[in-house]
Structure 1
Amino acid sequence: MAVTPPVCDFGWKAPDFALPGTDGKRHALSDLAGPRGTLVMFICNHCPYVKAVLDRILRDARDLAPLGVSVVAINSNDSVAYPADSFEAMQAVARDRDFPFPYLHDTDQQVARAYGAACTPDFFGFDAGLELQYRGRLDASGKAAGPEDLRRDLYEAMRQVAETGKGPADQVPSMGCSIKWKEPA
């Protein structure tokens, strides 16, 4: 079932985190923050919405780097119930797809809860001070990638954040599969 996250809460401060990455290192948000902005995205390996746009996510991450915007991806799904989202599977996807950003594993799901992540993909675009300026979609794609000439909503929003410190007033929420939460113990 498709899930849509809430609209952007402008100025909301990014919670810090320190999570293991597929590169074998531990990454903290404070170390990853870009000089002009930071994009924190919740993705996973098995979601059809993520799979449909992964090439575009990688393209946008590469295009944002020269603008001073850093990018980090977090997988918070229950990897016991969804083995395709295991840390080993994450490592394989990051390696095979040559991720240009750290891909982190949120095994206890505390980071997803702190951010209020709702779906995969769920994009949180922060300014240089790590205040939220964008919580919208990548583009108008859904479970299938849309045409190549779709407006690049995420890229354009983060470019605006890098240039002005402010995100666009009008934002269309992302849509995707729900975060796969663990059963309470």
Structure 2
Amino acid sequence: MAVTTPVCAEDWAAPDFALPGIDGRIWNLGDIRGERGTLVAFICNHCPYVVAIIDRLARDAQVLQDEGFGVVGINANDPLQYPEDSFDNMKVFAGTHGLGFPYLFDESQSVARAYGAVCTPDFFGLDRGDHLRYRGRLDESGRLPAAPDARRELLDAMRMVARTGRGPAHQVASMGCSIKWRDP
């Protein structure tokens, strides 16, 4: 089921985390944080909305990293319900799509809950002080990729955050598959 993210709550500060990455390392927010800001992206391997944007996300994440931003991908989906989102499959997915940022597994789903993540993809664009400044989409892609010349909304927003300390006044919510929560 497709869901959209809530609007950006600019007084919200990102919670820290300690999650395993596909590289065998435990990562926290301080390890990811960039001097110009940080992008926390809740993604997964199987969602058609993620699949539609993953190569663009990899491209724009590399640009952001080159410009001094930290970038991380977090998968919080329950792999018992969706085996394609397992930790081992995360490694394959990252390799296939050339993800140049840490890809972490939130097995307990506590980080996704702390962030209020609702779908994949769900983007949290943070300023230098870890305050939320952007909660929008990558671009106009949906279940299918947008045109090659689509405006790079996330990239533009993060650059604006670094330049002004604020996100865009108008942010279009990201849309994607709901996070696959564990049965209680």
TM-score by length of 1: 0.98
2:158 alignment partner in structure 1: 158
- Separation in 2, partners of 1:3, 1:172: 13
Please state if 1:134 is matched with 2:114. no
1:143 alignment partner in structure 2: 143
Please state if 1:42 is matched with 2:42. yes
SS of match in other structure, 1:74? strand
1:29-178 correspondence to structure 2 within 5 Å: 29-178=29-178
SS of match in other structure, 1:84? helix
Give the paired residue count: 184
Q: Which amino acid aligns with 1:175?
A: M
SS of match in other structure, 2:65? helix
SS of match in other structure, 1:170? coil
- Separation in 1, partners of 2:65, 2:30: 17
Q: CA deviation at 1:66?
A: 2.2
- Work out whether residues 64 and 155 of structure 1, in 8 Å CA contact, stay in contact via their aligned partners in 2: yes
1:28 alignment partner in structure 2: 28
TM-score by length of 2: 0.98
Uncovered stretches (5+) of structure 1, i.e. residues with no partner: none
Please state if 1:182 is matched with 2:163. no
- Separation in 1, partners of 2:114, 2:66: 29
Q: Please provide the CA RMSD for this pair.
A: 0.7
Q: Which segment is superposed worse, 60-69 or 71-80?
A: 60-69
In percent, how many aligned pairs have the same letter?
Answer: 61
- Work out whether residues 67 and 162 of structure 1, in 8 Å CA contact, stay in contact via their aligned partners in 2: no
Deviations 1:104-154 (A, max 9, x none): 000000000000000000000000000000000001110000101111110
Deviations 1:37-60 (A, max 9, x none): 000000000000000111110011
